[in-house]
Amino acid sequence: MVCRMKRSAFLLPFVLLASPLFAATSGEEIYQQRCARCHEQVNDRIPPREALQKMPAARILRALDAGPMMAVAFTISREDRIAVASYLGTNAPVAGPPASAFCADHTVKIAAKPKTYWNGWSPGQNNARFQPGDLAGLSTDQVRGLKLKWAFGFDGDATAFAPPTVIDGQVFVGSAGGLVHAMRAETGCLQWVFQANGPVRSSILEVPLGTQHALLFGDMTGWFYAVKAETGKLLWKAQVETHDSTRLTGGPVAHDGIVYVPVASWEETRSADVDYNCCTFRGSVVALRIRDGKQLWKTWMTDAPVERGRTPRGTINYGPSGVGVWSTPTLDTKRNLLYVGTGDNYSAPATETSDAVIALDMATGHMVWIKQLTAEDVFNGSCSRAPSTCGPDFDFGSSPILTHAPDGRELLLAGQKSGIVWALDPAKKGEVVWQTRVGKGGTNGGVQWGMASDGQNVFATVSDVKRMLQTDPTDPRRNRVDPNEGGGLTALRVADGSQEWHVAATPCPPGAPEGCGPSQPGAVTEIPGAVFSTSTDGHIRAYSVEDGKLLWDFNTMRDFQTVNGVKGYGGSIDGPGAVVVNGMVFISSGYPRNGGVPGNVLLAFGPE
């Protein structure tokens, strides 16, 4: 079994599926159990089995991993997805982008000293998501007049969740289909594409490597890559985690020739399946040498799980587990520390490392201190059946921000799914300086993907999405979004956590598509004068830093004519926030995962 999984991970990204390793029977069984109820009925919307059998297996796998079937496939292991895709589909390859999508000149050049850049998850290593004025290149007046410059469509994808890295007019961006793109900021034309093994949603970090440059990023199957920025050719790749449910969502950070990679997983959700032996994944941070990908250290966030009895049904319990690291680590080069926010435990026993901010020694990976902010938080997909035995699911999904308060004192600001923003003292092992509630919190509530701060204020949006069970049996989304619940943007003073202002979420208009909701899970971005926030309602909005007044509002939930000829459409926005650099604003739109509206576009805006 294990050996088969490993093979598949090597051979079978989205490209090559002609493998005889996978017995047709198991693919057929999975089809009967997981697909037939929808695909064997006559319904205009649903492609029948005969239509699926004409599709390349690679495209079916992509539909399961990153496309319209994502929510259906969520509890299906990758091995089983591959089995059902190869059972149904043909061996034909999936076509790459057409020649017309490419620039006339494919050259990618990166200056030794770029003038404008947004490189990785945040413009600075402190993860404050604050882009200084000279790099943002947008006045408040220009923000008011932002117009769509171009849209780029991710072919075959139903979600667009990767943030671009932009360096002097050069864009690098991943996609749900696992294609990483190099394109020009002015036009969106392509220079090269690179196919990863799995969906790439992590931010991409560009680092100099000799006379050239490397792009560092992870995918949603546990592989981490170094690709030559100039050509898109692979330099090396390393599987930083082999657990079947691994996902690398947080972006990497680098210092002194070493790249630090955070590791999370979706195993928590797989235990929604009553027969799943929960749980064996444990989060980690991995340090790799940039030169060759050699692993220098890997620090697990819990001890190794061991068997802990069985459920009445006979399913095996394993623990401890969980404590994924979902977000980009924060570098403190003064103290040689790396700060990470951690998620909950998936199974008992609970550990002291879950729902915590943890400081790791950059050289060795040793835990220097652990500040747990919610204890005893054991949560997994079976909790919907027995909620009383479960914790509240209060992960830290976003990066701690290392900043200076106006009085010069250093603080770590951490936003939690509990709806609380914490200020911790990095000089005192994370001692709590203040805490302020900005939302209700919950499984998909509170602060999710990131806050922004300029040192005076910290800007936090909350998700607080309310998910309801899907009532349409043919809708591949497992959940529906409550169109009236969630959202809100709060500005807090960094000095003491008191509120500067608050802007309530905008309700969805009557007649909005199913999946519209006011929640604001996406990361916040700040430039001098403006705070950018996105929403499940598909809007990207800019607010005045001073008083929260709305400066600009664009609804992405519509169809787009794309520069690469793909049928483009926007939907809910979740995950990364706006990237602002050199007078342009980039945002990707489409996020059906929590019941939101699908979409497949990267949008670029500029002043008139």
Candidates 13-21, 60-68, 95-103, 180-188 — which segment interacts with ligand HEC by CB under 6 A? 60-68
From candidates 12, 58, 69, 278, binder to ligand HEC by CB under 6 A:
69
Assess 84 for contact with ligand HEC (CB under 6 A): yes
Q: Whole-number minimum distance, CB 34 to ligand HEC, in Å?
A: 4
Assess 593 for contact with ligand HEC (CB under 6 A): no
Assess 70 for contact with ligand HEC (CB under 6 A): no
Assess 67 for contact with ligand HEC (CB under 6 A): yes
Candidates 46-54, 93-101, 240-248, 387-395 — which segment interacts with ligand HEC by CB under 6 A? 46-54
> Would you say 68 or 319 has its CB closer to ligand HEC?
68
Assess 381 for contact with ligand HEC (CB under 6 A): no
Assess 60 for contact with ligand HEC (CB under 6 A): yes
In DSSP terms, which residues pair with 283 in a beta bridge? none
Alpha-carbon span 379 to 183, nearest angstrom:
41
Assess 37 for contact with ligand HEC (CB under 6 A): yes
> Would you say 302 or 589 has its CB closer to ligand HEC?
589
Angle between helices 78-88 and 2-11 (to 10 degrees): 60
> Would you say 62 or 541 has its CB closer to ligand HEC?
62
Spatial contact of 559 and 569, defined as CB atoms under 8 Å apart? yes
Residue type, position 289, single letter: R
Token look-up 């929403």 returns: 535
Q: Whole-number minimum distance, CB 274 to ligand HEC, in Å?
A: 18
What single-letter DSSP state applies at residue 218? E
For residues 472 to 511, the per-residue mask of contacts with ligand HEC, x marking binding by CB under 6 A and - elsewhere, is --x-x-----------------------------------
Q: Whole-number minimum distance, CB 602 to ligand HEC, in Å?
A: 19
Name every residue whose Cβ is closer than 8 Å to that of residue 368 and which is 6 or more positions away in sequence. Answer: 337, 359, 360, 361, 429
Alpha-carbon span 222 to 230, nearest angstrom:
24
> Would you say 72 or 296 has its CB closer to ligand HEC?
72
Q: Whole-number minimum distance, CB 71 to ligand HEC, in Å?
A: 8
For residues 131 to 170, the per-residue mask of contacts with ligand HEC, x marking binding by CB under 6 A and - elsewhere, is -------------------------x--------------
Q: Whole-number minimum distance, CB 72 to ligand HEC, in Å?
A: 4
From candidates 39, 201, 467, 539, binder to ligand HEC by CB under 6 A:
39
Residue type, position 279, single letter: C
Spatial contact of 267 and 243, defined as CB atoms under 8 Å apart? yes
> Would you say 94 or 458 has its CB closer to ligand HEC?
94
Assess 68 for contact with ligand HEC (CB under 6 A): yes
Assess 34 for contact with ligand HEC (CB under 6 A): yes
In DSSP terms, which residues pair with 458 in a beta bridge? 453, 492
Assess 63 for contact with ligand HEC (CB under 6 A): yes
Q: Whole-number minimum distance, CB 15 to ligand HEC, in Å?
A: 16
Assess 179 for contact with ligand HEC (CB under 6 A): no
In DSSP terms, which residues pair with 184 in a beta bridge? 170
What single-letter DSSP state applies at residue 33? I
Burial of 296 (0-12, 13-18, 19+ CB in 10 A): middle
For residues 450 to 479, the per-residue mask of contacts with ligand HEC, x marking binding by CB under 6 A and - elsewhere, is ------------------------x-x---
Candidates 39-47, 120-128, 223-231, 238-246 — which segment interacts with ligand HEC by CB under 6 A? 39-47
Q: Whole-number minimum distance, CB 80 to ligand HEC, in Å?
A: 8
Q: What angle do CA 449, 214, 578 make, to 5 degrees?
A: 30
Beta strands in 301-419 (DSSP E): 306-310, 316-319, 330-332, 337-341, 356-361, 367-372, 401-404, 410-415
Q: What are the DSSP calls for 533-591, one per residue?
A: EE-TTSEEEEEETTT--EEEEEE--SEEE-TT--EEE-----SS--EEETTEEEEEE--
> Would you say 53 or 140 has its CB closer to ligand HEC?
53
Alpha-carbon span 239 to 228, nearest angstrom:
18
Assess 177 for contact with ligand HEC (CB under 6 A): no
| φ and ψ of 234, to 5 deg | -65, 130
The number of residues that bind ligand HEC (CB under 6 A) is 23
Alpha-carbon span 76 to 111, nearest angstrom:
44
From candidates 5, 19, 47, 513, binder to ligand HEC by CB under 6 A:
47
Q: Whole-number minimum distance, CB 18 to ligand HEC, in Å?
A: 18
Report the Cα–Cα distance between both ends of the chain, in Å, rounded.
Answer: 58
Candidates 38-46, 363-371, 383-391, 578-586 — which segment interacts with ligand HEC by CB under 6 A? 38-46
Beta-sheet strand order (sheet of 489-493): 452-453, 457-461, 489-493, 499-503
> Would you say 88 or 264 has its CB closer to ligand HEC?
88
Beta-sheet strand order (sheet of 420-425): 401-404, 410-415, 420-425, 431-437
> Would you say 164 or 599 has its CB closer to ligand HEC?
599
Candidates 67-75, 201-209, 249-257, 274-282 — which segment interacts with ligand HEC by CB under 6 A? 67-75
> Strands 179-184 and 452-453, how do they pair?
unpaired
Assess 226 for contact with ligand HEC (CB under 6 A): no
Assess 205 for contact with ligand HEC (CB under 6 A): no
Assess 571 for contact with ligand HEC (CB under 6 A): no
Q: What are the angstrom distances between the C-alpha of 556 and each of 467, 519, 571, 573?
A: 22, 15, 6, 9
Assess 72 for contact with ligand HEC (CB under 6 A): yes
Taking residue 292's Cβ as centre, other Cβ atoms within 10 Å add up to 10
Burial 512-537 (b: 16+ CB within 10 A, else e): eeebbbbbbbbbbbbbebbbbbbbbb
Assess 373 for contact with ligand HEC (CB under 6 A): no
Assess 52 for contact with ligand HEC (CB under 6 A): yes
Token look-up 């546990």 returns: 222
> Would you say 40 or 186 has its CB closer to ligand HEC?
40
Q: Which residues bind ligand HEC (CB under 6 A)?
A: 34-35, 37-39, 45-47, 52, 55, 59-60, 63-64, 67-69, 72-73, 84, 156, 474, 476
